[in-house]
Structure 1
């Protein structure tokens, strides 16, 4: 099986890209971020499914929002297939077509075409990178053996995971030297219970005697508690009577009060007297009010001077009365507008102080186009400044490297000595040629001397690392300086353009950072200015109306000239009120005298009703009535208090009446308390005895009674048998799985190890010649015959071992699992010579396998001369 085309709809940084591949070695060369890891993950995802959204870093969803997914065309058994996978549930939506027959196949057929390779085996063996090659170096001996069993036995992953889970569960149940496992803890509990049972058997007779004594003491304790409860009830009864004795004495004292008659002095009688007095008071108040009103009418008969002037011009003044409400509202509106003018003036002045220039002129606002242009200019200026800082830092670093690369005068320059030697040799050859016979020999010798000197002075100097480093640094410094000059010109141009915008809009007195903030203030100032103009217009019109009203008032009533509008409207309202009152006054005087006479009659009638009420009760005045009424109320209160005390005493009242005096009651309380105290002492002694017996029993049965201990021991032994059976089942099952996997991989694993030994020798230039794999460890043999464990290898050498094992697996298992090898920068830890050896090995194996090598090393393209080479760049991946 080999891959023919990779079509990426949208995957990571790629969208709408197609890569063609060949059957043998395919080298895709590109720098970092060119998309090498993206292509590796693309092949895995399209063939075996997208990772879940719980791992977004592995999904490589497109950055530009294009359709997520792609298609791979591959050839298997001379048949061409195309698998397409796009975003969807359960690893994506898959479409499979047989391009040779132009037939669409069910998606489930893909797994059968790829079998026995699944996603985990593909990632462990066929998709190689630095991290996965490093697993051999990081693994323990047992982990390494398990890893190679993955390689040697296809489909063994689930069984190995199950075996590991069984081993962990068995170790949680029992360890020979452990303390926390369950079976170890049960063994300790069994030993403790057996010791407690032996101890309980020894003290059996003493235990039963203590139990009998404890039962007798408990019976006595129960009887004493019943007696104590009876004594407590008696004490409580006599104590309650003792506490209620003062209340009983107050009840007796209230029973001796004399009862007096209450006829004519009830609450209803008091209410009736209060009603009659209220009628008398109301009649007197009405008479007084009418009398006062009569005096007021007589006093108002004299009219003020302004009203007398009004009577002369009433026809001209009456129309002004109708204008008073409107004029009053207009005066209030004028006051409000003046306050608004003051507030708007203050706010606009504050903005002018913040934004206006030294001449007091306000800047002009930006248009939308100017705003967008200024934002773009400022963003470009910020980027240009950042680039200049980075270039300056780079220039400083290059200058430091250049200074460090310059040789000092104190240091001896081996190159200079070598150049002098070559120059001297050239001069000797040139001089010696002059003494040769024949012109031809002289010319040849002179040319040879000149060539030797030229080589020593120029060729040797140009091939030294130091001279090449200085030349490279000089070129880099000149390039950075040129970029700095271009950046400075760019910054000057942007700064000049920004300054021109600020000067054109009157913002040159403010820093650039405040221009956008000032735009809001400028807009607010323009709005306030418009509001201020509109308010002034309203105020001018309103003032003209008020002035017209004042001129009309002054023309008919000269006495009001020079007064404010408020004063004039107030006096006009007073004139109107006086006019209306005089109209009604003439009719009111006519009936007021009759009402005063009726008031006097009502007062006399009310006074007579009060006298009659007091005479029928034989009291002289209202004070005497209320004194007699209060006495009767007090008598009723005493009766209510005695009834409340009787209710408070309740059933104890009869018991208290049966006692001759308080001394007898106190004697009953003392006798009951002494009986309770005696019983309490006996109960305390019995309780103490029970506590002593319980302590002795607890000491004897600290580990439990015999029956309980035997039952606990039997339960524990049952649990131990169950745990032991589970432990044996897990351990034996794990051993069976391991033995089965070893047997399953036994026919292929030796071939894989032999082939890996051959590849490993090629990769290490025959420094290591043989591999040996046992059930417990993996070791390698050096050329001198010394065996070394994997743990003593360097990281690069260990990665070469893992590469050799996986290449061997791919070759040996080609008949059962023919899959392409995808290597993503997996050789970065190899030195130059071993990397060349790896390229040569891959080139050889590509005659039988498809190998897709994604690398940043340009040497790989040279090593793969004549093979399919694709050059990736970061621009291509965008």
Structure 2
């Protein structure tokens, strides 16, 4: 069993962590606080469940929340590859196990996959850490030996804990030299009370003589009791000897008798014979019964119709649907005929036909071709009517639009400007110009004063250019100078005389200009509307004239179509002009109804004939039968015949079965008889009485053997047989009689002394007048009762401890030797052959033996040597269990106390174990990967590459 991959969803500081492992050695390196122990605990948690919240183990729940748990991918040669996933759920987590073939199991399957191991058993063998090794230094010889013993045997650590608990509870009850335990306290209290009683007793002087006599009596009784015990032991030895001698004599007699008897009777022979005889008798009775049943079944008669009639009944049953269909068709035909007669009468009424016309309709041409000859003319008339209606509608709409346009024209004429308003509009352009100049002047006056000299400067520049050009006779520049002088003069004339006058002009004329502009816009809009209305009226007049011409043409076309229609219909028996399509539809329905009526009458005749024919066929077989219950009678008869047929088949089957059973019974009877004869042949007899005689002889031999076995069992009850072979029963009886007589004498003397003891004790009790003495005596009895209860508890715990020690001793004898052989080999190699073996002393303590034979108790070794012994036992146990429990071995830095040489040897041992075990070695020492001869699969905890941990 090997772990292929570890996937942690959320566990301690790890989140979404994936670790890929390989068979053999996997070195998981990481500095302190990298989470190595967390991964180690994650493996144990996923396999064996999350700890309870009230337990000491940490749960390692993720600090940041999220999904808690993970999964392990396992390669298992016995159960195939499987995956276990454990996430937050119930107290120990929800478990899902998925196999390679798609099977899904729950937690109940996990115990089988883990070979019945729980977490404690797994950790005691396959998981160990530096913390466990460091604890070896603090252990005494007893604890250290027990730890090593538990590491070399499975299950002892649990019993060791129970034993420790029992010892602790025993120690809390009683210690040999203790003062704090409860029983020690109680004994001290009883001793103090007894001392107080002695003080009270000394006060009673009359007690002294009686007390002396009581002591003398006690001594004499004790002496006699010892003598009595010795004699009783001697008497018991003599009694046992008297029991053994007859047993030995009886054993010899039984052996002598057995030597004259033979042991040839087969094992369980009488039981086998009786079983065979009983079986033979049963088979004979069964044979008789089967022969009787066979005769009865063969004599039974079944009245069954011929096969042809039964087949005819089955065919008729299959025709039931056809029968109902025929009857339904007959009823439907009758109904349809009545409906068609009613429909023909309705169509005749709608068409207004006379009886003669009804007869001629069947010969009338109402074909689609005839209808299509008439349809174009009728469609032409309809189309002309529709065109006339549409043209009339368009003409009415045009006249309505003409009236609306006339109304708009009148309204537009009413909205024309008056003569006074038109006169005002003539002054609008001049006012707009003056208003613009005034605004320009006001804006120009706001500029700087230097800007007012611009016209003067322009004139001066123009005069200068003109004068210079005249002198130089440059006439083009002379013209330019004249233009500049003119511009400057014009600008000078345009300068405002007074800004206030211009502002006053704007205030007075700006509202008037706005009013005139609105009036001008209204005049322009009214003229535009007037032009549009005139154009619309002219367009509508043309449209009305066009519509009138088209209407006249349509009336003329309609008259021609009517005349053509009348010419085509002059030979028809009645007029169709009212609606050609409706008339042709009704005529076609009339003709179709007549055809349908003929068809239904034919179907009615056919259905009636078929029904009557089937009734006649059935009556030939079943006799007279009513039409309504025809098929009910057929089904009843068929069911009856089927029942009889099933009965016939059952009879045939039963007869065949009886025949087979009879044949089988005969064969078994012959076989049983042959076996009985074979049994007689083995014993060497030929009849039943001789067989029973041989059986009785065998029983006698068996009885003698049982008696001999009982005698030997009785003899085995004694530890050893006394040397009484030369003794005789009379001698033993004489010696026992002498011993018995001496015992009686001693018992009589003891009884006399005891009676005197009682008498003296009674006198002493009567003399006890002190009240404090009686109270102390009563208190002593109470304390003794309490001490007795505590003693029972102490004895119970001692018995449990001794049972555990006995169990541990048995384990040491059976399981430990095989582990010690391999552990000694590795321990010797690790210590460089300094120590040859490690073993157990008679007291159950571990000791190490050097190559020279010198022994050291395990607690006398160095810390590293202790760890090497511990690891040797652990690895040897895992090696011995590799077939039953091939689990990975998880190690948390266990070699820190090893020097380089011993570390190299340990690595060689681990390399030797790699084919049978997978190793997960957690370490914080990066140089460990250099210690292996071939570099192991190294995983660095805390560094992610592409979602995996390396």
TMscore range, shorter length: 0.3 to 0.5
Higher alpha-carbon Rg: 2
Give the TM-score normalised by structure 2.
0.38
Give the TM-score normalised by structure 1.
0.41
